[in-house]
A = this chain, B = another copy of it.
Amino acid sequence: MNIELHLKVQDLNARYVQAINDDKLEAWPDFFTENGRYRVTTAENFERDLPLGMIYATSRAMLRDRVRSLRDANVYEAQRYRHIIGSPLIEPGEGRAVHAQTSFMVARIMHTGETTLFATGRYRDHVVLDDGGAASFAEKIVILDSRLIDTLLAIPL
C-alpha cells in the first residue's frame, strides 16, 4: 500500500465534502478534471449495468451550469447537508491514476432543526494526479443505496 497516495485520496475526499458542507458549491467543479465525469445512480441500476444515472455530466463546464441552476432556483440554501465519509479503498490504475471506493452518509438539517439521514451510498472514483502531484476526479460515480431518489438530489453529492 502506498501510504502517501492513500492520504492524498483521503485529503481530496475531505476537501470535496467540506466544500459541499460549507455551501461553497462554486468550488465543486474544480475538484474534477476539465473533462471529468460525474454520475449519480442507484446500486440497483449500477449492479444491472444500466449505464445512465439520474444525473450525468461530462465536463467541469456542465457542473458549473448545474451550480448556477441550483443558485438560481435557490433550492440549496433552504437546508444544510453534512457528509461523513469512510476511509477510501484504493486500487492502482494506469499511469498516475487510482480507483477509489468510499462509503458516505449524508445528513440533511432543515431550518426547523429536524435532522435526517438523507442519502447513503458509495463513491466509485477515478482519481488522477497532475504533474505537480495535485489530485482530482476524472470520474465520480455516486452509487446510492436507496432506489427512491429524492428530487433534491439535484444537489452535489
Which A residues contact B (CB, under 8 angstroms)? Answer: 1, 3-4, 6-8, 10-11, 13-15, 17-18, 21, 43, 80, 82-89, 101, 103-105, 107, 109, 111-113, 115-122, 145-148
Q: Which residue of B lies closest to A18 (CB)?
A: B89
Contact partner, A89, options B11, B82, B86, Cβ 8 Å: B11
Using Cβ atoms and an 8 Å threshold, which residues of chain B touch A105? 82, 84, 105, 107
Given the interface pairs A1-B11, A3-B4, A117-B117, the reply to whether A103 lies near B87 with Cβ below 8 Å is no
What CA separation (Å) do A18 and B88 show in the bound complex? 10
How many copies of this chain? 3
What CA separation (Å) do A111 and B42 show in the bound complex? 12
Contact A21 B103 (CB under 8 A): yes
Contact A18 B101 (CB under 8 A): yes
Contact partner, A147, options B17, B113, B120, Cβ 8 Å: B113
Pairs across A and B, CB under 8 Å, 20 listed: A1-B8, A1-B11, A14-B86, A14-B88, A14-B89, A15-B89, A18-B103, A80-B145, A82-B122, A84-B84, A85-B86, A85-B87, A107-B117, A109-B146, A113-B148, A115-B118, A115-B120, A115-B145, A116-B117, A117-B117
Using Cβ atoms and an 8 Å threshold, which residues of chain B touch A117? 107, 115-117
Given the interface pairs A21-B122, A84-B85, the reply to whether A146 lies near B113 with Cβ below 8 Å is yes
Contact B103 A17 (CB under 8 A): yes
A96 to chain B, nearest CB (A): 17
